[in-house]
Structure 1
């Protein structure tokens, strides 16, 4: 299984690079520009025109939100029914571990809500175990696992070390699920919360279900205000392009996970 995981990890990184809209658009424009210097100038101009048009659509229109909202709205906010959770799992993505290691200070990512939420949940449910799942997803160079940095942060805010479990070997969401289950060995009847970004929750839930680990979705980091954002363009090209990249990355991940049977369904939802 480890060999299959490595192949899947490498393939996802390589294919993911070429399927990201911003990279595809840049490649299309580059090819078009080069062709304008050859006998195929007219074809190059057409490619360049298409590339610029795609750039404007992806960067300024609500396309990114239209792709992201069906994912981020899939799971509603978690509701406390009076029964405290036995454990809380947070997936990596909140901390830039390589930058933190280089600078000697904690550097947060755009998904910092994940770790902030776990700090709040750890205070609200003092008996719950806390699992921080996140290794290094670097492909070309060795990286620093994220989980140890998150563990030190929780301890600095007063969370007892004996409550914290670190899973530092995972590189993908599938590995998050499999290795976390192996680490905590959940018992029947236990209640575990899964904290990750709302747009990433469907793929995460699918991976945990495929691993045989039933968890409850605790979505954070919504990125949009709701369905009304379908009607508003972006103020800066970079904002819309980044949103489109994020959404396409997640949809490609969902398709790949379902195809590889690493998820129970294409777009998992609440049960």
Structure 2
């Protein structure tokens, strides 16, 4: 039974539709009005811990690239970087927001365009603390930048806090080409689609976490 679950969770025919069902709920907007702020959720960096020479990006680092692109395209005036750190693990650890603020100037975003929220421990707190800052500044509508798979849960939570968001997803893991490949009539392709892959197991786990989060936050 355990082997069957592992196999089922590791094949393309399960992972690709599961991940894509989350990623395609909010696609990059066709029309992008100029707004004051884009809220950028942390989770795209590794802190500068030895032997790392500097703060590094991880597999969600596209969040920073897309945020910088929005700024350089003149779509936003400021980036609200939101994300704290787990203090019990290391009280000296910089927050996720501070890590992003270290890297974004390397991408040409000036420090004065960065607005930091450094307390949030999860997506719910990202929304709560960001809403307080936005309300104080009189800002009602923002771009919301996070990974495409994480966007459905994020939109639900931010909207529940009364924030009018334009989803600006990035870090797409299943491009259209992978979806089309799944339905290829090639026998070799179909054989490969049924082979278990450790990377698929990782993505299936992430997708299930998002679906569980959607259910949990629906009852908060």
| TM-score grouping bracket, smaller chain normalisation | 0.7 to 0.9
- How do 1:198-209 and structure 2 match up within 5 A? 198-209=148-159
- For CA contacts below 8 A with separation 6 or more, give which structure has more relative contact order: 2
SS of the counterpart of 1:223?
Answer: coil
Q: 2:89 corresponds to which residue?
A: 141
Q: CA deviation at 1:229?
A: 5.7
Q: 1:244 corresponds to which residue?
A: 204
SS of the counterpart of 1:118?
Answer: helix
- How do 1:223-262 and structure 2 match up within 5 A? 223-226=173-176, 227-228=179-180, 230-231=182-183, 233=193, 237-260=197-220
**Over aligned residues, Cα RMSD in angstroms?**
2.2
For structure 1, the 5+ residue unaligned runs are 1-49, 261-271
Q: 2:27 corresponds to which residue?
A: 76
Q: 1:26 corresponds to which residue?
A: none
TM-score of the pair, normalised by structure 1 = 0.69
TM-score of the pair, normalised by structure 2 = 0.84
Task: Describe the superposition over 1:15-36 as per-residue Cα deviations: whole angstroms up to 9, x where unpaired.
Answer: xxxxxxxxxxxxxxxxxxxxxx
Which structure is higher in strand share? 2
Q: Does 1:56 align with 2:7?
A: yes
CA distance in 2, matches of 1:66, 1:139: 37
* CA 1:129–1:234: 2 relative to 1, 3 Å: farther
Whether the aligned pair in 2 keeps the contact of 1:193 and 1:216 (CA below 8 Å) is yes
Which structure is higher in helix share? 1
**Aligned with residue 80 of structure 2, among 131, 156, 161:** 131
Whether the aligned pair in 2 keeps the contact of 1:75 and 1:198 (CA below 8 Å) is yes
Whether the aligned pair in 1 keeps the contact of 2:38 and 2:76 (CA below 8 Å) is no
